[in-house]
Amino acid sequence: MDFKEIVNFLKNINQDVDEFAYGDFPKELGEIKEVYSQGGSDRGSDWERVYHFINHDVFISFSGYYSSYNGVDFDGWDDVNEVRPKEKTITVYE
């Protein structure tokens, strides 16, 4: 499956993105690994998780907004995007 096919499969199971954003995927999609995590309690308001759907070699990002009084809010499937790993070199001064 490609990105669009995976998302359509997930939409057909459950119309809400919330369930899948936390990594609760059906076994039919094969092995899935969380490869990136940002945000949440004491880690900022921008929230993101990236999962690698290994059997399909597809990386999917789930983004939302974290607030201490409400947890994570999502704008629906518009917050779900295909991403690819990209290595970058940065310079820092300490």
pLDDT, one tens digit per residue, over 49-82 is: 999 999 999 999 999 988 777 778 888 899 999 9
Q: How many other β-carbons are positioned within 10 Å of the β-carbon of residue 82?
A: 13
Q: Which of 55, 69, 72, 66 is nearest to 20 (CA)?
A: 72
Q: CA triplet 36, 16, 27: central angle to 5 degrees?
A: 60
Q: Which of 50, 53, 36 is nearest to 1 (CA)?
A: 53
Enter the pTM of the model.
Answer: 0.86
Taking residues 18-46, report their average pLDDT: 86
Cβ within 8 Å of residue 43, ≥6 positions away:
66
Domain boundaries, the chain: 3-83
In this prediction, residue 73 carries a pLDDT of 85
What is the overall mean pLDDT for the chain? 90
The rounded Cα 19 to chain-centroid distance in angstroms is 11
